[in-house]
């Protein structure tokens, strides 16, 4: 909930942010992580066919070992993005 985390979490250049993650296509997911500063890792979400509904089901270990991405970015992707998107979504 720090200012940095929330600015990362809602990247200005991500145009699908008005949609609920439930409605994101695989391409929306890829655009989200590209805009969030992880263009290399974003491709892994496409190759694993992860759309918004799958994204909301991911756990820490799925992000760290199921995407075959580097550990450093994976830790931030889970902690500052996937977990935050899930919290926001479940709060509604």
* Stretch near a copy of itself under the rule CB under 8 A, chosen from 13-21, 42-50, 84-92: 42-50
* Stretch near a copy of itself under the rule CB under 8 A, chosen from 10-18, 51-59, 84-92: 51-59
Q: Which residues make Cβ contacts (< 8 Å) with residue 88, sequence separation at least 6?
A: none
Q: Classify residue 59 by its DSSP letter.
A: -
Question: Which residue in the set 15, 47, 87, 88 belongs to the binding site for a copy of itself (CB under 8 A)?
Answer: 47
How far is residue 68's CA from residue 12's CA, in Å, rounded to a whole number? 27
Q: Classify residue 20 by its DSSP letter.
A: -
Residues at the site binding a copy of itself, with contacts judged by CB under 8 A: 26, 47-51, 53-54, 57-58, 62, 64-67, 70-73, 75-76, 79
């Amino acid at each position: 909930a720090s200012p940095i985390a929330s600015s990362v979490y809602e990247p200005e250049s991500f145009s699908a942010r008005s949609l609920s993650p439930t409605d994101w296509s695989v391409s929306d997911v890829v655009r989200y992580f590209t805009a969030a500063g992880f263009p290399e890792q974003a491709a892994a979400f496409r190759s694993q066919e992860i759309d918004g509904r799958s994204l909301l089901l991911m756990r820490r270990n799925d992000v760290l070992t199921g995407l075959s991405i580097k550990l450093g970015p994976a830790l931030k992707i889970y902690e500052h993005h996937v977990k935050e998107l899930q919290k926001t979504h479940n709060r509604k």
